[in-house]
Structures are given as C-alpha cells and as structure tokens.
Structure 1
Amino acid sequence: MHFRSSLLRRAQQSIMKFIDIGANLTDLMYTGEYNGSKRHDSDLKDVINRARDNGVVKMMVTGGNLEESKKAIELAKEYPDLYATVGCHPTRCNEFIEDPEKYYQDLLQLIYDNKEQVVAIGEFGLDYDRTKFCEKDVQMKYFEKQLDLCEATGLPLFLHCRAAAQDLVDILVKHRSRLRGGVVHSFDGSAEDRDSILKLGFYIGINGCSLKTEENLAVMKDIPNDKLMLETDCPWCEVRPSHAGHKFIKSKFPEYPALDKKKWKEGCVVKSRNEPHTIKQVLEIVAAVKEEDPETLAESCYNNTQAVFFPES
C-alpha cells in the first residue's frame, strides 16, 4: 500500500510545473567555491537536472550587476530552460558612479544583443537594510536610472525591496506610465507594503525568506492567487526548521542526501545551500497557509509567471 501511494504521489507531483523566478545560479557555490575556498567540483548540471526532475521547467537566473548579468546570459545560452535578468542590485549601485552613462549603455547593449535570453530588468530596487554597501541616495538615483532600461526595452521589472517599500512604491508611481509591470521578489514586508505593491498592479514573489515568521505567513496568505509567483532565491533562502512555514513541508527529498560542502560527493546536495528543486516546499507552505489545493495553486503561479515574463511562449 505504501509503495502504491508513493507512486500515486509522484504521479500527482509530476503534473505540477514550476518557474523559479529567482535562481542565483551564477553564484560560485555551484562551482564548489565557498568564501574563496574550493571545496568540491562544480555540480551545476546536477542542480539543474534535479530541478527538471521536480517539475521546474524554467529558471530565471538573476543578474546582480553587469558582470553577473553577462554570466547569467552565458548560462541561458548553455541551458535552454534558463533565462536571464539584466540589472544592478541596489547594494552594488556604486558601480555606476565612475561612469554612469557607460555603465547604463553597457547594460542596455547587453540586453539588445541577447534578446532571446533576457526576460526582465533586474535585480534592482532599494535595500535599506544594507546601506553600508551603498547609501540610500545612490540606490535611489540608480534605481530610477535603470527604469530607463525598462522603457527602452519594454521588459518587465524584477525588483528587490528591503525595508524600503514606501520609497520603492513612490518611485514606481512616479514612473508608472513608462513601465510594463513586474514582480517584487523575495517579499517579506508588512500588510501595508503588500497592499501598496498590489495596488500598482505588481506581482509578489515568495520564497523561504518570505515564510520565516507567523506574521510573514499571515501577510502572504492575503496575496491574491492571481498576483503570486514562486521562487527559491537559491543558493539562499532555504526553508529552515526554525521557520514558521517549515511545519507545512511535505517534500523532504530523501533521494538527495545532504552533506557538508567539505564532504560532498556526486548525487548529493550541499547542506544549507538552496537549490531550485526545493520550490516544491515553498508551494507546499503557501498552499497550506492559504488552504488551497497545491496543484491548482501551482498552475496559477505558473500562469502568472508565463504571462509576465514569457508572454509569447
């Protein structure tokens, strides 16, 4: 009986399709490098195959600055189910300062030269939790500057927002007529933040970092299903046992043993390094809190993402 129920469960899971809107697959952890030290061989192909085996049909590889955006595009050219975003993260906006126009033009040309791979402008926005890396005024200036990329290309926005929702929304309202919409990813804000983002017509992306506290879960519950997207933000934002959402997880992935990075071997995952296949866990938490059928919710999130980032496919 257990074997038959297991087969049935796997058959049901295979029906679900996912698009991970936030996969930081250019991170050196996937080459086996951690804080400058090589710990194991690259296992990126295994990471991608695990995602495919668990219903992840597309992954958006985020560009955090000009160089990362180039690497994201290279991956998207190598793997047909990967796509790239191009932009500069708020904590890296100091990179604009030396020659703002050149940096902007380099981003724009990168998009023009790789139209088949690039599906969004980003990751960009505001981050007031980490102003030690880049001051608020610099972040705001080059957030606005990158909105020119959105107008020039017609691409949607992949937005980062930490402790800065009011300023983010104010800037988006100011430029609303120039923009095609998009998503505020890795959302962990208040109910008021949620509602102001939704009022603009933007979508909200949910990952493990969005599901840490009971308050997070309550705020997430009231995101309309037709404005919801799912992501992992890997290699970060895994759902940890200490998180409020962890109790709702059903998929444990025993077929992928987790080992410390120093003891890694082929076929295993690296302990505490998140991967796209765990998007199933995000879905399970969101569906449980919302009291929704997981399969129906997965389809809704998939369709939302298709409509915004892949309208012609």
Structure 2
Amino acid sequence: MRFKIAVPLVLSAVFVAASAEAAANSVWDAALGALPDSACWTRFDTAPLSDPVLAAGKMTLATNIRAEVLYFEQSGPLLSVPALWVMETGLRVVAESHDPGPRWGATIGFARSAGVGNVLLLGVGQIMLWGGFGVEGPLVAIPTTDRVHDYRVEVEVLGTIRVYQDGQLVLTGASISNPLFGATPYVYFGDGGSSGSSTTEWTYFKHNGAASPCQAQVGVEDVAFGTTIALESPSPNPASAEVLLRFALQREAWLELTIFDVAGRRVRTLESALRPPGEHQARWDLSNDAGRPVKAGVYFARLEAEGRHIVRRLAVTR
C-alpha cells in the first residue's frame, strides 16, 4: 500500500560501491551530498515543479496538492526482510495542509510480505499508523515541527509495530492485511500521498532489510573503490513506450545490463559486452528477448560488473 492513488544524477560524480558479500543495511545520508535515487532507491515523483532540494545536510521534499506524490522506494529483489525489520530516519515536518480528520505530511510505508504491511503517517503535531481506508489507526500527539527528530520503526515478523521518537516509545500497532499492499515486499519514505500539500525535511533513512549493502559514495577519485559502477534511475518511469537507462564505469569492465520481472525471471538482455570507462546508455523498447511486448507491471533493471551490481525499479504502463 502506497498512498499513491531537483537534482538529476551526475554519473561522473556519484557512484555506488556495492560489495559482493551479503549484508543487511541500506543507508542514505544527506550529509554525503547525494539524493536517495543516486543509489539503491527509486524515485516516484508526480510533483514536477517541486524537485527534491539537497542542502545543508538535509533533503527538502515539497508537494502542492493532495494528488502529488514524491517518495523513494526499494522493493522486490533489493530486499531480504529480517524477522525484526528496523527503519530509522531523521525528519522534520515543516508544514502541511489537510482535510478534516487525521492529517499527515510524511509517510513511511512498508510491506514485509504479500498483502501485509502498514504506513506510518507523520503530520503537524501528531503521528498515526494507518488502519485501512476510513479507519483510524493508533494515533499520538507529539512535537514534529520544532526540529529534526529521530524516528525508529520496528516491525516484527508476527506483525507487531513499535515507533520511537528520539529513543522514546511513542506508538504501538500492528501490520494489517490488505491487497493494496501488493505482492512483493517494499519500503518507501517521503510524501506517498499526503492529505494536502506538505513540506518535509529528511536527514537520513536506513533499514536492515536490504538483500546486499547499499550506500551512495561520493568522490570517484578514490581508487580504493576498485571498479565502481553507476546506474541512473530509468527515464521515464513509469514508461509506456521506451525506457532510457544511463550507466557508467570508472574503468574498463565486462558488464551485463538485464531486465527482470517481479518473479526474478530474466526478460531482456540489453548489454553483455566489454565497455570502456565513462558514461553509456541503453534503451529498452519494453519487449522481451523474443521481441514481444511485455505486460504492464513492475520490472527491474540490473547492472552488473565484476561482481558488483545495482538494481533499479521501473513500472510499465499500457
């Protein structure tokens, strides 16, 4: 369930150093000077006049109307959800307008299995766990606008949810069953469909449910990174005719760029070749290896070189 109804990536400046060893942490930190979609996260943005602003160690997100969304998501093969899934973030709710009733300007959504999840809603002076359409979940009045607060969300395998603010337990609830949570695990943060306009400030977001370590690295001049790779978020996303995938290598390497469906099946091989260092691009015409158009749905672009890989999520509409 998502409440769904700037700055472009400079490939020569921001790269991902992804370890081949399995680990559990996905970390985005505004202090590193890169937006979440520079590595690991996919941006969903229907607020084209309000791109994320990264400055002074924080990212500001703004939407103007209820129908706009602006958030970052990880899902599918990017995730390996543990028994105790922990999400942590630094957040200040600056302002939001709202409809009558419980209101929010920021959302942290998650689904640990098919059709089972919840959404933490954070507004001016209150936070709430979603209870379903037309149903108010647990709600508590706490300061949210005075400064950046640290939030921690713990989700147990049996569904219990605990929410902490600045180290203090402030809210408890449970995951709920709803087909709107979809068929694959995911986690997102941002404005997933606030109750009006909103402005929020984020300093970091991390969780321990990643399939492999994931963190943006700045400064490709450091040769200790070895072979580093970069893959920009697909454009456009969602797509109905063609997708542009821009990627880069720090040095010459054999790479593969492939498309997978949500079940992990290979759909299309776009690149499988030795490429020189620098920036490159590939186009996907939304067909499979047999030349037949793929169905509408969620797909993943995977770039791999010398044991390192990056996965980007994209949606196909028809």
Report the TM-score, using the length of structure 1 for normalisation: 0.26
Structure having the higher strand fraction is 2
Structure having the higher helix fraction is 1
**Relative contact order (C-alpha < 8 Å, sep 6+): which is higher?**
2
